[in-house]
């Protein structure tokens, strides 16, 4: 809890509604999309670098834990002030500082919503590729802190691949500036990428410089159904074998298709057991040819169904993908979702074993996601009120065991946060963990930044 | 110098020619392509992880500096054992452990020559994109340690973007394993990328896991001449504006063209002042259309000349690019080369100022390089024996000043090493440097790994 003096410091530094102290108001900042709740001691909303510096100097000296946050879309509890402390909202640092079509860079404050930045880039014929599913509600600061992935990662990579430099305030109040605005830079240790995916544990990011690409002229997608999961995975392999690098390659297994059928008129015929959804981009002139190549690559796996879409038709194809989450709740009232990644060649085995484990547990498991990079989303559907919560938790651990057993990782894009922290030593060795904590201590010797998270 | 006991330790651990102690033999390992020389105390060539562990345990305890090295192609002195110590050659750890077309990963030991890995990947229809100019003589270990760039970086990025995981031995002999073989992974601090570009200062890398892509079906290139540098830069800008992301976009300024004319029949007409060389890849069917789009984008800048090449013809276009270095020495007997990067929109200004500075110094400066990412190679030609060495050195510092003034970086792909170390605080702040050194100390508390380099 904060002392009266500490509270006075905060209200002086953050006048008006920039500091919130009453439990009734701060409680809205106590949880993120993980729905794990902890009561914040206070919430502050810095607007300037100077305010942020004063805050981090004070917190460092007073040993007050700080929990950075912007839109709180994190699903592993990264924004939850567990153990108590001050939530620091980045939402008033939400300026797109610059979008440069000459340098192909954007400079943004952490509170900028990613879709807003994407639009600002598109308006200048530029392209910021990272595209997490939360793009319309999550922010650049959060995306950088979790190394957000998304749909387009197969061709364009993840957030890390676009961060050229950043400004951050360290505990103690010092400002560091890493990297720069050049597309190549190999001077000194790469502190920039060390911040990417660090889940807010090293410093409070106040500005990010991002690499942009020229905007592709057009895109097109293909939705294809298959009589068996194996056929879908064979088709995916043949796409890569044909030398095609799609922007996105999503898949949905049987249980997902059945859930979707409850909320929409599914375009695939009866007997379809798996669906692939692929996106290409390029020029308007060449895309029809590329689509034909893609369809040719899929053909040997005898798709039960194929639909192609360009322009408005393309969006319609992606609608089914977006319906997975609402459809999940037609299967069971509660969802325990997971984000794991396996080596691309082990997807078939991992999916089969996860489904078997689900059957054994008597729970429906929806497996879908970013097939192109082996990034599987696993929704364990259950009825918590009906007493299935414990079984779901056990199944989640079983899934983790399967994933690690096939050489995978417990998180492909959501991070470790609070919820996966208990399992981290099943994936990361003791010495490696110790190094991570010692590196953190270089930035944050008193451990005030997002304590208890990530590693 | 090593004591007799220390020498005995090394000859016991590295029997036969795996340990070299005589100055006549070790001197060949005293310099790299920077041509800076320091006499090694000894050279050892580990073959196994166990040997490497014993070596790093011993060196840590005995405080003996170690200088990792493979093919020594580094041009900034990174492999030079300045201050004295033991050179550790990675060349006997040169096994391609695995190339997996299922997982789209390759696993290689540090001494593998990059072109050999590329060929092994191509044989399986796979593609390892990083393509430094030294690709036929440099190694994966060196490429990772310097975050090597190269021709294809515009579209495909640099070495960092392909390193998924690694195994390294730390001073003290402990082995760490970071990352993995999944294409996405956000668990814990990103120690993997911290090693990329660390110039051998954190640990001795013994194995690297790399991301692969499907091999594009075909490629094609266009060589275009322009009546002025500005026209060439306008043309480059219009290529991006058309939404085209070329694999490579190289340029050569006037002085380079004149040097080339001394060694080859230049394909461009008289009056050509700048040349662009662009590469595209894709499918055999769509490439002709993409070439047409590219030529259409170049047209408004009125090229004096345009040649396109596919297959064997394509290689011929790139021959002029490869002749730049031999041609340089027809201008003057000595070359002081530099590798700087500026924000893409500042290339015109930087090139003009660098050429002006050259004229003022009375020296010919050849400016060329990876225009697509603002990465300029600057060859300051001079006659050292004729007393121009000092003027060349001064000009090199002037160039550095210009680059930093336009928001650039002193190195885009070669690194800092020894030669740029005296200037590092002109680019990196004091606190940031201090953090880098503290982070190094987590891995290497006694500072035995490649001391005096990088940061």
Q: What is the ipTM of this complex?
A: 0.96
Helix/strand/coil percent split, chain A, to 5: 40, 25, 40
Q: What is the rounded CA–CA span in Å between residue A162 and residue A172?
A: 28
pLDDT value of residue B299: 98
Dihedral sign, CA of A44, A50, A53, A58?
negative
Residue B397 has pLDDT above 90, yes or no: yes
pLDDT band, residue A266 (cuts 50/70/90)? confident
How confident is the model at residue B246, as a pLDDT? 97
Q: Which of residues 202-261 of B touch A (CB under 8 A)?
A: 213-217, 237, 240-245
Please, are residues A62 and A72 in contact by the beta-carbon 8 Å criterion?
Answer: no
- Give the span between the Cα atoms of A183 and A188, in whole angstroms: 15
User: Is the confidence at residue B312, as pLDDT, over 90?
Assistant: no
Contact A438 B435 (CB under 8 A): no
Contact A166, A207 (CB under 8 A): yes
What Rg, from alpha-carbon coordinates, does chain A have?
Answer: 23
- Quick one: pLDDT at residue B125? 95
Interface contact A191, partner B, CB < 8 A: yes
Structural domains of chain A sorted by starting position, each given as residue range(s) with its CATH number in brackets? 4-89 (3.30.43.10), 96-214 (3.30.465.10), 218-323 (3.30.70.2190), 332-423 (3.30.70.2740)
Q: Do B409 and A345 touch (CB under 8 A)?
A: no
Cα A234 from Cα A237, distance rounded (Å): 5
Tell the residue number behind the tokens 């001079």, with chain if given: B382
DSSP string, B13-67: HS-GGGEE-SHHHHGGGSB-TT--B---SEEE---SHHHHHHHHHHHHHHT--EE
CB B126 within 8 A of CB B212: yes
The answer, yes or no, to whether residue A322 has pLDDT greater than 90, is no
Query: In the structure, what pLDDT confidence band is assigned to residue A276 with cuts at 50, 70 and 90?
Result: very high
**CA pair distance B423, B416, nearest whole angstrom:** 9
Bridge partners for A365 per DSSP: A380
Task: Give the mean pLDDT of A172-199.
Answer: 98
Distance to chain B for A101, nearest Cα, Å: 8
* DSSP assigned state of A297: H
Q: Could you give phi then psi for residue A418, rounded to 5 degrees?
A: -90, -40
CA distance B168 to chain A (A): 11
**Is-contact A433 A424, C-beta < 8 A?**
yes
Q: Which residue is listed with tokens 């008129």?
A: A265
Q: Which two tokens stand for residue A101?
A: 């079509």
What pLDDT band is residue B322 in, cutting at 50, 70 and 90?
confident
What DSSP string describes B302-323?
Answer: --SEEEEEETHHHHHHHHHHHT
Query: From the CA of B187, how many Å to the nearest CA of chain A?
Result: 6
The whole-number pLDDT of residue A416 equals 97
Tell me the pLDDT tens digit for each residue of A356-388: 999 999 999 999 999 999 999 999 999 999 999
End-to-end CA distance of chain B: 25
Handedness of CA A437, A443, A445, A448 (dihedral sign): negative
pLDDT band at B146 (very low <50, low <70, confident <90, very high): very high
Tens of pLDDT, residues B195-254: 999 999 999 999 999 999 999 999 999 999 999 999 999 999 999 999 999 999 999 999
Let me know: does A99 contact A121? Beta carbons within 8 Å: yes
Pairing of strands A334-341, A375-382: antiparallel
Q: Rounded to 10 degrees, what is the CA torsion of A365, A371, A376, A382?
A: -20
**Which residue in A183, A216, A427 is closest to B344 by CB distance?**
A183
The percentage of chain A sitting over the pLDDT mark of 90, rounded to a whole number, equals 95
What pLDDT is recorded for position B325?
A: 87
- Decide if B296 touches A, using CB distance below 8 A: no
- Polymer length in residues for chain B: 455
Output the CA torsion B227→B231→B236→B240 (10° steps): -140
Torsion-angle region of residue A193: left (phi > 0), alpha (psi -120 to 50) or beta? alpha
Residue in the block written with tokens 């912007």:
A70
pLDDT value at residue A49: 98
Nearest CA in chain A to B163: A161
Which of A76, A131, A145, A186 is the best substitution to test chain B (most B C-beta atoms within 10 A)?
A186
* Cβ-Cβ contacts under 8 Å, A454 against chain B: 188-189
Task: Using DSSP bridges, classify how beta strands A248-253 and A364-370 pair: parallel, antiparallel or unpaired.
Answer: antiparallel
Mean pLDDT of A75-93: 97
Chains A, B: CB contacts under 8 A, how many? 291
Share of chain B above pLDDT 70, in %: 100
Calculate how close chain B gets to A93, using CA atoms only, in Å. Answer: 23
CB contact under 8 A, B214 and A240: yes
Put simply, whether A430 touches B (Cβ < 8 Å) is no
Q: Do A416 and B188 touch (CB under 8 A)?
A: yes
Q: What is the mean pLDDT of chain A?
A: 96
> Which residues on adjacent β-strands are paired with residue B423?
none
Whether the pLDDT of residue B415 is over 90: the answer is: yes
Q: Rounded distance, CA B287 to CA B219, Å? A: 7
Q: Which of B154, B165, B186, B427 to mutate to test the interface with A (most CBs of A within 10 A)?
A: B186
Residues A109 and A225: their CA atoms lie apart, in Å, by 42
Q: Which two tokens stand for residue B253?
A: 């300024």
Contact assignment for A187 to B157 by CB distance below 8 Å: no
Per-residue pLDDT tens for A327-339? 999 999 999 999 9
Q: pLDDT at position B137, please?
A: 96
**Which chain B residue is nearest to residue A246, measuring alpha carbons?**
B214
**How much is the pLDDT for B280?**
97
Q: What is the pLDDT of residue B295?
A: 97
pLDDT band at residue A312 using 50, 70 and 90 as cut-offs: confident
User: By C-alpha distance, which of A375, A404, A454, A427 is closest to A149?
Assistant: A375
Instruction: Quote the DSSP letter at residue B299.
Output: G
Mean pLDDT calculated for residue range A307-333: 91
> B202 to chain A nearest CA, in Å?
10
User: C-alpha angle A436/A437/A443, rounded to 5°?
Assistant: 95
**Mean pLDDT confidence for B256-273:** 93
Write out residues 356-375 of B within 8 Å (CB-CB) of A: 370, 373-375
pLDDT band, very low/low/confident/very high, at B311 (cuts 50, 70, 90): confident
Q: Do B181 and A283 touch (CB under 8 A)?
A: no
Measure in Å the smallest separation between the Cα of A248 and chain B Cα atoms.
14
* Gap between the Cα atoms of A403 and A426, Å rounded: 11
Cα distances from A256 to residues A102, A324, A360, A371, in angstroms, run 45, 7, 18, 14
Nearest Cα to Cα of residue B114 among B90, B137, B88: B137
Evaluated on CA atoms B141, B168, B119, A299, the torsion sign reads negative
Cβ–Cβ below 8 Å for B341 and A185? yes
């Amino acid at each position: 809890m904060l002392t009266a003096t500490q509270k006075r410091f905060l209200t002086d530094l953050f006048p008006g509604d920039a500091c919130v102290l009453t439990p009734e108001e701060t409680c809205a900042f106590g949880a993120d999309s993980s729905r794990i709740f902890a009561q914040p001691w206070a919430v502050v909303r810095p607007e300037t670098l100077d305010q942020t510096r004063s805050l981090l100097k004070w917190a460092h000296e007073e040993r007050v834990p700080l929990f950075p946050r912007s839109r709180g879309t994190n699903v592993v509890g990264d924004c939850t002030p567990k153990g108590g402390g001050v939530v620091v909202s980045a939402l008033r640092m939400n300026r797109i500082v610059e979008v440069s079509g000459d340098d192909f860079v954007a400079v943004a404050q952490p509170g900028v919503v990613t879709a807003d930045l994407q639009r600002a880039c598109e308006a200048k014929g530029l392209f910021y590729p990272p595209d997490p599913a939360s793009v319309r509600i999550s922010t650049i600061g959060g995306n950088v802190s979790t190394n957000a992935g998304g749909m387009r990662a197969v061709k364009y990579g993840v957030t890390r691949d676009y961060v050229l430099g950043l400004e951050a305030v360290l505990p103690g109040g010092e400002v560091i500036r890493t990297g720069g605005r050049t597309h190549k830079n190999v001077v000194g240790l790469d502190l920039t990428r060390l911040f990417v995916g660090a889940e807010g544990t090293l410093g409070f990011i106040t500005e990010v410089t991002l690499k942009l690409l020229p905007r592709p002229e057009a895109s097109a997608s293909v939705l294809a159904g298959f009589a068996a999961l194996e056929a879908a995975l064979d088709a995916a392999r043949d796409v890569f074998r044909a030398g095609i690098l799609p922007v996105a390659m999503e898949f949905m297994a049987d249980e997902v298709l059945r859930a979707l059928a409850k909320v929409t008129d599914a375009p695939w015929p009866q007997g379809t057991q798996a669906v692939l959804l692929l996106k290409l981009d390029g020029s308007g002139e060449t895309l029809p040819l590329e689509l034909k190549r893609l369809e040719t690559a899929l053909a040997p796996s005898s798709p039960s169904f194929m639909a192609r879409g360009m322009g408005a038709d393309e969006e319609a194809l992606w609608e089914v993908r977006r319906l997975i989450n609402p459809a999940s709740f037609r299967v069971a009232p509660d969802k325990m979702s997971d984000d794991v990644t396996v080596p691309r060649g082990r997807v078939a085995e991992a999916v089969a074993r996860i489904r078997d484990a689900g059957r054994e547990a008597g729970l429906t498991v929806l497996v879908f996601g970013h097939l192109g990079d082996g990034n599987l989303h696993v929704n364990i559907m259950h009825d918590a009120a009906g007493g299935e919560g414990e079984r779901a938790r056990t199944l989640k651990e079983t899934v983790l065991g399967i994933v690690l057993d096939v050489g995978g990782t417990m998180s492909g894009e959501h991070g470790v946060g609070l919820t996966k922290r208990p399992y981290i030593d099943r994936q990361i060795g003791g010495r490696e963990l110790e190094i991570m904590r010692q590196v953190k201590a270089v930035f944050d010797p008193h451990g005030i930044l997002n304590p208890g998270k990530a590693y």
